[in-house]
Structure 1
């Protein structure tokens, strides 16, 4: 996998001149892997829904992608540092709330 240059603050990386937000480095590795797996599954579902020209399936799949990216910290509120997370009371378990909105009360396995 190629390595892309990052910004000095470590929040973004650059691909073809465009900034992309990095995943939140404060997420526990096991949770991050589960979220990445969900993201990849959702992206595959988007591709399949497009091939099947199924608009309702596509809408749900895109919602899964969005929820996964928010949970990873790549979209939504900008993540900062562990200190800021501690001050605001944010925990790793709260990062899955976006996924819970799409899937209901669920646990990632």
Structure 2
């Protein structure tokens, strides 16, 4: 799969003309891959909950999606406004909470 287009500053990816905040490039490869895996699992769980019309399971799965996106730096305080320690703490807390 080809890498998506990025803005010149590297802070956003562009998909179908729309900007999305990029994953924090300071996250080491292994934890970033684990966070993406957990994000995809949570997204699948949202779909299952929607098909089963289980509102509680949907809320829980959507909360895990949000937690994973925050840990990856795609939501919450922008990663370029955080110190290296804050960035590291963010993804480590996310991994701990989601694992």
What's the TM-score bracket when you normalise by the shorter of the two chains?
A: 0.7 to 0.9
**TM-score normalized by the length of structure 2:** 0.86
Larger proportion of helix: 2
Q: Structure 1: give runs of 5+ residues left out of the alignment.
A: none
The size of the alignment, in residue pairs, is: 99
**Structure whose alpha-carbon radius of gyration is higher:** 1
Match of 1:92 in 2: 88
Q: Deviations over 1:22-72 (max 9, x none)?
A: 100000111101101100100010010001000000000000000000000
Superposition RMSD on alpha carbons, in Å?
2.1
Match of 2:77 in 1: 77
Matches within 5 A, 1:1-109: 1-80=1-80, 85-86=83-84, 89-98=85-94, 103=97, 108=99
How far apart are the structure 2 equivalents of 1:2 and 1:41?
A: 22
Structure 1 segments of 4+ aligned residues over 3 angstroms from their partners: none
